[in-house]
Structures are given as structure tokens and as C-alpha cells.
């Protein structure tokens, strides 16, 4: 699976990094009954660099058929998949039950954080998508040509919601609550977002736009997160703030579509 890491308005969205994680062993589909171990590595590359090069990292778990979801925090959730095998009917075993958080801004070697495991195997034909409330909708898994409800990996009809740590009650005092936003924005224009937060922020609050992609076969098509440049931040009342930000400059950076604002 792969993901475009958050684009920063502070540098004019000029630095573009891609993260690719996991995958099946080369040629695994030719001998699927062997269930070869999946990849445990991630490769990160700045594609806009004058001399791009891969930076390799090791995940806590092997994973093929994983999904990668951009979170409002700017981190990447790596979820679903199997630790052995490949795509196809009955070609994988050893489900990857633990999601992993990837923190792009952390130091190399300290970017992965293991999350609470699920009890539901999500292998071939599973999906994960960010919801407007910040949770991640997790669904699917069918390693069979038809609906099959027997065996180690039955067709899965149950749906789960994964709550990242920013939704923990321990963060209630520092998690902003969005009060008002415009219904639509134009390219290259300033707009205002008002929020409330119980604890005064240290510095500017961060306003981001996240696209609403559709996901299939371990790939979220059109997924991107844009961190908008802050023009001003003003205290407007008790624990309330008015934040003026600038929208993306063009459809090249933010293709016309619906976006979630965080």
C-alpha cells in the first residue's frame, strides 16, 4: 500500500513525499500454498528532490494487503492485511491484527507505534476510510470467490470503527471543537474557521483539509492531506478562537472535490 504524506502550505506545497509499506513476496502468486512471509519494510521518498533516494524503515509487523489512512493529526494509520501470503482466493494466512501508527515527523527509528489489536481478521478485500468525526471505518474481508461463512477466514460482514488516540477522553481539554466553517471555498482565498478549545493552545492551531477518497485493493484513490497556512489567529471569547487560513492555490494541489476540514 502507499500514501502521499501531508502536503504543507508553509512551503507552498512544494515538498512531495510518498510512503510505500509492506506487500507480498515477489512472485508469491505463483506458489500461493507456500504462504511466503510478507514484507516488513517501508520505503519513503521525496519525489520532488533533485536527487530522490529511498529511505528504508522496518515496521513492527509484516503486512501484505494493508490499508494506509491519513489522519487529521498528520500521522498515517497502517491497518488490515496478512503477515503471510498474497492477494487472491485463500492465498493468505496469519492476519495482521494490530494497526500501526506511522509518525512522519518523528526521528528515523521512532516513527512506528503499535496500536490495540482487533479480533477480526481483515485480509483480502478489506477497506479502511477516515470518517468526518476522526474515526476510521474498517470493513470487509473476503478471500473467497463467493460469500463463504466457514473456515479460518469467512466472508466478513461486520463493520468496526477504530478510534485514534486523539479521540481519547484524556485529550478532551486540548482537542478543538469546530464551531463554524464556510460551506465552500475558492482557490487561493482566505477563509475563517472558528473553534473552541478548553486549554489555550501553545502557538497557532493547525487547520487541514483531507480529501474523501474511495478505497479498494489496498489503495485509497485520491487521498491527500493539505495543511493550510495560517494568516492569523484571534481570541474571540472564552476558549474560542477565530483562525484565518489560506486555501490551496489550484486544482493541481487540491483537485476540485469534497474535503473534510480538521
| SS3 state at 125 | coil
| Average pLDDT value for residue range 88-108 | 94
| 28 phi and psi angles, rounded to 5 deg | -60, -30
Is a pLDDT exceeding 90 seen at residue 180?
Answer: yes
Q: Report yes or no: 225 and 70 within 8 Å, Cβ to Cβ.
A: yes
**pLDDT on residue 33:** 86
- Residue 132 DSSP label: T
Q: What is the pTM of this model?
A: 0.93
**pLDDT, tens only, 99-139:** 999 999 999 999 999 999 999 999 999 999 999 999 999 99
**pLDDT on residue 201:** 83
Q: Report yes or no: 63 and 82 within 8 Å, Cβ to Cβ.
A: yes
**pLDDT on residue 107:** 92
**pLDDT on residue 203:** 80
Q: How far apart are CA 123 and CA 126, in angstroms?
A: 6
Bridge partners (DSSP) listed for residue 252? none
Amino acid at each position: 500500500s502507499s500514501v502521499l504524506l501531508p502536503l504543507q502550505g508553509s512551503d507552498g506545497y512544494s515538498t512531495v513525499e510518498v510512503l510505500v509499506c509492506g506487500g507480498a513476496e515477489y512472485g508469491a502468486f505463483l506458489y500461493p500454498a507456500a504462504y511466503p512471509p510478507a514484507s516488513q519494510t517501508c520505503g519513503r521518498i521525496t519525489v520532488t528532490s533533485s536527487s530522490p533516494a529511498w529511505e528504508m524503515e522496518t515496521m513492527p509487523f509484516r503486512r501484505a494487503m494493508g490499508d494506509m489512512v491519513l489522519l487529521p493529526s498528520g500521522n498515517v494509520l497502517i491497518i488490515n492485511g496478512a503477515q503471510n501470503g498474497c492477494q487472491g482466493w485463500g492465498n493468505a494466512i496469519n492476519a495482521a491484527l494490530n494497526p500501526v501508527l506511522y509518525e512522519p515527523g518523528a526521528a528515523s527509528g521512532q516513527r512506528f507505534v503499535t496500536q490495540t489489536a482487533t479480533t477480526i481478521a481483515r485480509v483480502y478485500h478489506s477497506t479502511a476510510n477516515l470518517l468526518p468525526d476522526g474515526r476510521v471505518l474498517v470493513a470487509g474481508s473476503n478471500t473467497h470467490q463467493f460469500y463463504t461463512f466457514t473456515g479460518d477466514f469467512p466472508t466478513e460482514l461486520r463493520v468496526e470503527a477504530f478510534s485514534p488516540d486523539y479521540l481519547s477522553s484524556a485529550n478532551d481539554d486540548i482537542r478543538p471543537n469546530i464551531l463554524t466553517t464556510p460551506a465552500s471555498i475558492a482557490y487561493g482565498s482566505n477563509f475563517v474557521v472558528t473553534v473552541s478549545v478548553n486549554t489555550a493552545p501553545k502557538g497557532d492551531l493547525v487547520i487541514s483539509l483531507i480529501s474523501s477518497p474511495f478505497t479498494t485493493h489496498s489503495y485509497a484513490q485520491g487521498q491527500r492531506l493539505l495543511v493550510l497556512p495560517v494568516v492569523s489567529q484571534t481570541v474571540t471569547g472564552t476558549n474560542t478562537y477565530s483562525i484565518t487560513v489560506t486555501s490551496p492555490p489550484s486544482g493541481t494541489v487540491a483537485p476540485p472535490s469534497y474535503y473534510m476540514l480538521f
